[in-house]
């Protein structure tokens, strides 16, 4: 047997296992690990007092990583319904493009905000259910709730800021990833979401109310272990 045939047999053995746990109708898969929200953000200009946008200004939102809790129910060996949950994410919200304000400051941390982004996704597993490698793709619906919006000391001191508020968001989500079965119950997992999250933010300041529209639109990366029962 030449090397090409040996490599082919090894690859087939890795991909298929007749006795390995196949995903079947009624299975539940619980995944735990880490999940990172990386905003692909864009915003309107800051609108001060409803008189129009301040050209060149906007806001940015930083990344955050939390604990993953992800549950999938298999309708059959190729289709599953997945719910993404996690511990609350916390992000810093920063202005960009502000004038120096006489203090050499062009960017100010406005504050921090927490959110939960539960996402319900219909997944398709294209490979034979006996394969130990199970890639998937899917699409679904996201609801993001924002809470504990706190203004920063810097924003309070420089801008007289208070009462930061962000509206909740509904949006679509796309999903891709894979599970690799370690045995009949345990699997390795990695995946990614792209989620449409859009919100309206407003902040009271000494100069008046500041409003801005923010498209957060994050990439959400998941990695961890799964357990099937």
More confident call, 45 vs 217: 217
Question: Confidence band (pLDDT; 50, 70, 90) for 172?
Answer: very high
Number of domains making up the chain: 1
User: How confident is the model over 47-67, as pLDDT tens digits?
Assistant: 887 666 677 788 899 999 999
Does position 18 have pLDDT exceeding 50, yes or no? no
User: How confident is the model over 176-212, as pLDDT tens digits?
Assistant: 999 999 999 999 999 999 999 999 999 888 878 888 9
Point out the least confidently predicted range of 18-22, 110-114, 159-163, 204-208.
18-22
More confident call, 4 vs 93: 93
Q: At 9, which CATH number? A: 2.40.160.20
Residues 214 and 162: their CA atoms lie apart, in Å, by 19
The average confidence (pLDDT) of the chain is 86
Question: Confidence band (pLDDT; 50, 70, 90) for 11?
Answer: very low
CA distances for 224 relative to 188, 189, 191, 218, 221, angstroms: 6, 5, 9, 19, 10
Question: Confidence band (pLDDT; 50, 70, 90) for 6?
Answer: low
User: How confident is the model over 32-51, as pLDDT tens digits?
Assistant: 999 999 999 898 888 887 66
Question: Confidence band (pLDDT; 50, 70, 90) for 15?
Answer: very low
Does position 95 have pLDDT exceeding 90, yes or no? no
End-to-end Cα, the chain, rounded Å: 40
Q: What is the 3-state secondary structure (H, E, C) of 147-168?
A: EEEEECHHHHHHHCCEEEEECC
Both tokens of 68, joined, read 């993953």
Residues 82 and 161: their CA atoms lie apart, in Å, by 40
Point out the least confidently predicted range of 4-8, 116-120, 121-125.
4-8
- Beta strands per DSSP E along 21-107: 28-38, 42-43, 46-48, 53-54, 58-61, 64-74, 79-86, 89-96
Tell me the residue range of the domain where 87 lies: 3-228
Which sign does the torsion angle of CA 51, 53, 54, 59 carry? positive
Point out the least confidently predicted range of 15-29, 55-69, 129-143.
15-29
Residue 35 near residue 68, CB atoms below 8 Å: yes
Question: Confidence band (pLDDT; 50, 70, 90) for 1?
Answer: low
């Amino acid at each position: 047997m030449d090397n090409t045939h040996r490599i082919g047999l090894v690859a087939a053995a890795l991909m298929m296992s007749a006795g390995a746990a196949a995903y079947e109708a009624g299975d539940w898969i619980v995944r735990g690990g880490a999940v990172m929200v990386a905003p692909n953000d864009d915003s309107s200009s800051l609108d001060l007092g409803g008189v129009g946008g301040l050209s060149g200004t906007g806001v940015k939102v930083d990344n955050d990583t939390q604990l993953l809790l992800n549950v999938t129910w298999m309708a059959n060996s190729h289709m599953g319904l997945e719910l993404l949950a996690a511990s609350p994410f916390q992000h810093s919200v920063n202005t960009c493009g502000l004038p120096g304000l006489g203090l050499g400051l062009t960017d100010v941390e406005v504050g921090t905000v927490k959110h939960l982004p539960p996402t319900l996704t219909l997944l398709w597993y294209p490979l034979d259910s006996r394969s130990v490698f199970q890639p998937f793709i899917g699409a679904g619906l996201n609801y993001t709730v924002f809470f504990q919006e706190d203004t920063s000391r810097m924003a309070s001191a420089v801008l007289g800021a208070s009462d930061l508020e962000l509206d909740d968001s509904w949006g679509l989500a796309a999903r891709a990833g894979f599970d690799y079965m370690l045995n009949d119950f345990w699997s390795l997992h990695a995946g990614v979401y792209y989620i449409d999250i859009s919100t309206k933010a407003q902040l009271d300041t000494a100069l008046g109310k500041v409003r801005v529209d923010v498209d957060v639109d994050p990439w959400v990366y998941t990695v961890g272990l799964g357990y099937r029962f």
